[in-house]
Chains A and B, each alone.
Chain A
Amino acid sequence: MTTAAHSVVEPSPRSKAIAGTLVILYAVISMIPLVWIGMTALKTPSDAIAYPPKIIFTPSMAGFCDLFTTQSRQTEDYIKTLPPPTDTCDEITRSRGLVTAGPSNFLPRFFNSFIIAFGSTFLAVALGTLAAYGFSRFKVPMADDLLFFILSTRMMPPIAVAIPIYLMYRELGLSDTHLGMILLYTAVNVSLAVWLMKGFIDEIPREYEEAAMIDGYTRLQAFRKVVLPQAATGIAATAIFCLIFAWNEYAFAVLLTSGSAQTAPPFIPIIIGEGGQDWPAVAAGTTLFLIPIVVFTVLLRKHLLRGITFGAVRK
C-alpha cells in the first residue's frame, strides 16, 4: 500500500472533503424538520393538512394570528355589522368567518418559560459555581463520594421520580407555581453545573487567588475579582446547557403545571383551532419558542465551543 506523504497536523485534502460532505449532509438532515415547521407556520390551516403536502403555497399569517388570539365563529351578517377590522389579523380572521375574541394564553406561557428557565439557570449556575469552587480548592471530607453522589442524581431519567415529586409538590403547595418549577429545574441542573464548573475551576491555577490574598484581598474578594472573570467562559457554557434543558423540558411541565405557571412546551402542542389541532398555530408557536435559545446560543457560541472542548487542549 502506498500513501502520499502528508503533514501530521494538517488533514489531507481528501479526508477534509469527506469530513465536509458528512457535516453538510448531517446539517441538512437536521434542518429538514426546522424548515418544515417554519413552512407550516406560514400556511393556512387547510394548506397545512393538505395531502400530498404542499411545498409551494401562498404564505399566510393565519397561524400567528391563531397563536396570539382566541376566536369565535359568527354569522356573516353579524360580522358585517362590526366596525372595519383594525389590523391584518382581524382581517384574516374575519375572512374565515371568525371574529377575534381576545388574546390567547401564548404570551403568558412564553413569559412563564422565560422566568422559570432563566431563574433556574441562574440558581443552578450560581450554586454550581460556588460548590465547584469549594470542591476544587478546599479539602472537603469525602469529596470524591460527594461528587459521585451529585453525579448519581443524573443516572436515572428525572421523570423516574415523577410520582413522588408530584405528591410532594401537591402537599407543599408547589404544584403549578413558578417557584416550584424553578426549584425543580435547579435541582436537576445543579449536578451538571457542579461537574462542569469543577472542571473549569480546576484549570484556573490557585496561584492567582494566593497572589490576590497577599495583595490585600479576602478569599471571597479574590474569588470575585480573580476567579470569576477567568471562569466566565465556563459559566457561559454551563449556563447554556442548563438553559437548554430548562427551556425544553416537557414531561415535568405537563405533570406539574396546568395554569398560572404553565410553560410553553406543554401549551404549544395542544393549541386547538376549528376542527381540531391548529397546526399552523402550533408551528408558529414552536418557531417563536426556538428563537430565544438560538439567539442565546449564537451570542455565546465562542464560549460554548471552548467549553465543550475544554480540557482536551491545553494552552
Chain B
Amino acid sequence: MADVELTHLTKRFGTTTAVDDLSLAIADGEFIVLLGPTGAGKTTLLRLVAGLERAEAGAIAIGGRDMTREPPVVRDVAFVFQQYSLYPHLSVYDNLAFPLRSPVRGMSEAAIRQRVEETAHLVRIHDKLANRATRLSGGQMQRVAIGRALVRRPAIYLMDEPLSSLDAKLRSDLRLELKRIQAELGATILYVTHDQTEAMTLASRIGVMDHGRLVQIGSPREIYRDPVNSYVATRLGTPSINLLPADLLPADQLAVGTRTVGARSEHILISRVSGGLARGRVVRKEHLGGHVNLHVLIGGAEVVKRVDADTDFLVDDPVDVALHVPLCFDHHGDRLDAGGADANT
C-alpha cells in the first residue's frame, strides 16, 4: 500500500477538458470516494492514475515516486473497470489468476491457487471457478472483476462503480466486505460511485467532481453538513436537498445576501393549520418502507421532507412550512454561511 499524490492534473480530449487542474493527496490506507454526475471526469481520473491515459499537465506520484510518465506495469495499481472487462477466452479461475501469473510477480502455481481460492470465497464466486468468464450473469461478472483486483496487493486499488450491477442485498454485503478488507489490509482505495449510501459508508473522504474539477473534498459528514456550494449540496441526502428562493418561506438565521436556501428534511418544519390560512398543501406521499417522503406544494414550489412512516399527514391536508437554519447560497450558488451548520451542533 502507498500514498498517492496528484498535482494540477489536466487531461483534454479534443475540446473537452475531462480533468481540469485537479490536485488530490491520498494518504496511505485512505478510502477516497469520488461522486459526480456522468461525464464529470471520474473514469478519466482513474485512468490517469493507472497510466492508461497520459496527462497534458500535472504530476502523479505513487509511494513517493514520480509516475507521471511510467507505463501501467510499473505503477502497481489494480483497476476494477466500469465495464467489467473479464478475459472472455479464460475461465473464472484463470481470470482471477491472470494478474498473479504476471512475469513481474513470479508466484508459484500453488501460491496462486491458494490466493485465488481465498479471493473467490471472498467475492462468493467459488462455485463458478471452472466457468468460462462469458457464461456468467452480470453480477457474477462484476464479482469476478472485483476479485481480480482483490487477489493483488497493489499500491492502490482503483474501482470504477464496482457494485453498480449487483442486487441490493449483495451490494450491501460486498460493501461491508470491502470496508472490512480495506481496514484489514490497510488498503488505499480510490473509488467511483453514484450511490450515496456507498459514498457515506465507505469513504474516509468524499470528493465531489464536476466538469473535471474537484469541487470539494472532505469527510462524508463535512460534505453533507457543510457543502461549499449548492451543487455539492445536491449530491448527498435523500430526499435530495430542496433549493428554494430565499424569500419563499419564513426562516431563521439567514445570512446576508442569501438568494437561495438549501433545506434538507431536518431543516424543515411542517405544521398543520386549519381553514383558509394555510399557504401550502400536501400533494403526495411516497411510501418508502421505513419512512415517507411528504411532498408539500407551497408558493409554487414543491418541498420534500422525509418523515416517519406513521405520519398522520394526509394528502390534501392544509399545512404551513418554516425553515430552521437552512444552508444559504448566494446568486452563484456558493455557500454564504460556511461552517455555520457545524457551529450549530
Known contacts A210-B52, A216-B103; A205 and B85 CB within 8 A of each other? yes
Find out whether the CB atom of B83 lies under 8 angstroms from the CB atom of A215.
Answer: no
Query: In the docked arrangement, what's the CA distance between A207 and B46, Å?
Result: 14
Give the docked Cα–Cα distance between A225 and B99 (Å): 12
5 inter-chain pairs at a CB distance below 8 angstroms, sorted by A residue, are: A207-B81, A208-B88, A216-B104, A221-B103, A230-B88
Chain A residues 205-241 with CB under 8 Å of chain B are: 205, 207-208, 210-218, 221, 225-226, 229-230
Binary flags per residue of B86-129, CB closer than 8 Å to A gives 1, else 0: 01110000000011001111000000000000000000000000
Known A211-B79, A211-B81: A218·B87 in contact at CB below 8 Å: no
Q: Return chain B residues, CB-CB under 8 Å to A213.
A: 51-52, 71-73
Residues of chain B with a CB closer than 8 A to A221's CB: 103
Q: Which 9 A-B pairs have the closest CB atoms?
A: A216-B102, A215-B99, A207-B85, A229-B89, A213-B72, A216-B104, A214-B79, A214-B72, A211-B85
Q: Which residue of B lies closest to A221 (CB)?
A: B103
Q: A205: which B residues are within 8 A, CB to CB?
A: 85
The answer to whether A214 and B85 touch across the interface, beta carbons within 8 angstroms, is no
A252 to B104, CA, bound (A): 50
Residues in B neighbouring A211, C-beta threshold 8 A:
79, 81, 85, 87, 148
Is the CB of B268 closer than 8 A to any CB of chain A? no
Known contacts A214-B79, A216-B102, then 5 further A-B pairs from the complex at CB < 8 Å, ordered by chain A residue: A210-B50, A212-B98, A214-B51, A215-B152, A221-B103
Kindly state whether residue B228 has any CB partner on chain A within 8 Å: no
CB-CB contacts below 8 Å: A184-212 with B: 205, 207-208, 210-212
In the complex, the chain B residue whose C-beta lies closest to that of A226 is: B87
- Say whether B190 faces chain A, with CB atoms less than 8 Å apart: no
Closest to A229 in B: B89
Nearest opposing residue in chain B for A207, CB measure: B85
**CA–CA, A211 to B79, complex, Å?**
7
Task: Looking at the assembled complex, report how far the CB atom of A147 sits from the nearest CB atom of chain B, in whole angstroms.
Answer: 22
B73 and A216 within 8 A (CB): yes
Question: Is B294 interfacial (CB-CB < 8 Å)?
Answer: no
Chain B residue at minimum C-beta to C-beta distance from A219: B71
C-alpha spacing A212/B148, complex, angstroms: 11
Interface of A is mostly: helix
**Bound Cα distance from A127 to B165, whole angstroms:** 41
B77 at the interface (CB under 8 A from A): yes
- Selected from A208, A214, A216, the residue in CB contact (under 8 A) with B87 is A208
Interface size of A as a range: 10 to 19
Query: With A and B bound together, what is the CA distance between A88 and B98 in angstroms?
Result: 60
Residue of A nearest to B105 (CB): A216
Contacts of B99 in A (CB 8 A): 215-216
How far does the alpha carbon of A225 sit from the alpha carbon of B85 in the complex, in Å?
A: 15
Kindly list chain B residues whose C-beta atoms are within 8 Å of the C-beta of A216: 73, 99, 102-105
Residues of chain B contacted by A225 (CB below 8 angstroms) = 98
Asked whether B202 is an interface residue with its Cβ less than 8 Å from the other chain, the reply is no
Q: Are B77 and A214 in contact (CB under 8 A)?
A: yes
Asked if B89 and A214 make an inter-chain contact with CB atoms under 8 angstroms apart, the answer reads no
**B78 contacts chain A at the CB level, 8 A cutoff:** yes
Taken together as a complex, chains A and B put the C-alpha atoms of A163 and B62 apart, in Å, by: 63
Residues in A neighbouring B78, C-beta threshold 8 A: 214-215
Which residue of B is nearest A208, CB measured? B85
Q: By the criterion CB–CB under 8 Å, are A207 and B103 in contact?
A: no
A217 to chain B, nearest CB (A): 6
Give the complex CA separation of A226 and B85 in angstroms.
11
Q: In the complex, what residues of B have CB within 8 A of residue A212's CB?
A: 87, 98
- CB-defined contacts of B152 to chain A, threshold 8 Å: 215
Tell me the A221-272 residues at the B interface (CB within 8 Å).
221, 225-226, 229-230
- State in angstroms the CA–CA spacing of A210 and B148 once bound together: 14
How does the 8 Å CB contact mask read for B23-54 relative to A, with 1 for contact and 0 for none? 00000000000000000000000000011100
The chain A residue with its CB closest to the CB of B74 is: A216
Indicate if the CB atoms of B85 and A217 lie closer than 8 Å.
no
Whether B89 and A230, one on each chain, are in contact in the complex, defined by CB atoms closer than 8 angstroms, is yes
Nearest Cβ on chain A to B222's Cβ, whole angstroms: 32
- Contact B102–A217 (Cβ < 8 Å): yes
- Nearest residue in B to A230 (C-beta to C-beta)? B89
Q: How far is the CB of A74 from chain B (nearest CB, A)?
A: 64
| Min CB gap A290→B, angstroms | 34
Give the residues in chain A near B72, CB-CB below 8 Å. Answer: 210, 213-214
> How far apart sit A132 and B78, CA to CA, in the bound complex (Å)?
29
Counting chain A CB atoms within 10 Å of each CB, which of B85, B105, B148 scores highest?
B85
Question: Which residue of A has the minimal Cβ distance to B75?
Answer: A214
- Select from chain A the residue with minimum beta-carbon distance to B134: A315
B85-A210 in contact (CB<8A): yes
Docked Cα-Cα span, A226 to B101, in Å, equals 13
B103 / chain A contacts, CB cutoff of 8 Å: 216-217, 221
